[in-house]
Amino acid sequence: MADTEETFATRLAAVQARMQRACARAGRDVGEVLLLAVSKNMSPERVREAADAGLTSFGESRVQEARQKIPLCPARLSWHFVGHLQTNKARDAVELFEMIHSVDSERVLDALERACEAAGRSIRACLEVNVSGESSKYGVSPEQLPALLSAADRFFRVTVVGLMTIPPLRPDPEEARPFFRRLRELRDRAAAETGRPLPELSMGMSGDFEVAIEEGTTCIRVGTALFGARKVAAHG
Ligand X SMILES: *Cc1c(COP(=O)(O)O)cnc(C)c1O
Residues that bind ligand X (CB under 6 A): 38, 40, 61, 82-83, 166, 205-207, 221-225
The C-alpha atoms of residue 73 and residue 226 are separated, in whole angstroms, by 17
**Beta strands per DSSP E along 62-121:** 78-81, 99-103
In whole angstroms, the minimum distance from the beta carbon of 226 to ligand X comes to 8
Is the CB of residue 176 less than 8 Å from the CB of residue 208? yes
In whole angstroms, the minimum distance from the beta carbon of 225 to ligand X comes to 6
Nearer to ligand X, 114 or 124 (CB): 124
In whole angstroms, the minimum distance from the beta carbon of 108 to ligand X comes to 15
In whole angstroms, the minimum distance from the beta carbon of 205 to ligand X comes to 4
What residues contact 185, with CB distance under 8 A and at least 6 apart? Answer: none
Nearer to ligand X, 160 or 205 (CB): 205
Ramachandran region of residue 204, left (φ > 0), alpha (ψ -120 to 50) or beta? left
Nearer to ligand X, 61 or 130 (CB): 61
What radius of gyration do the chain's Cα atoms show?
Answer: 17
Nearer to ligand X, 46 or 221 (CB): 221
Most distant CA atoms of the chain, gap in Å: 59
Nearer to ligand X, 142 or 173 (CB): 173
In whole angstroms, the minimum distance from the beta carbon of 128 to ligand X comes to 9
Q: Tell me the residue number closest to ligand X, measured at CB.
A: 223
Q: Tell me how crowded residue 27 is: count the other CB atoms within 10 A of its CB.
A: 7
The C-alpha atoms of residue 94 and residue 190 are separated, in whole angstroms, by 26
In whole angstroms, the minimum distance from the beta carbon of 221 to ligand X comes to 4
| Distance from chain centroid for Cα 188 | 19
Is the CB of residue 114 less than 8 Å from the CB of residue 148? no
Nearer to ligand X, 98 or 117 (CB): 98
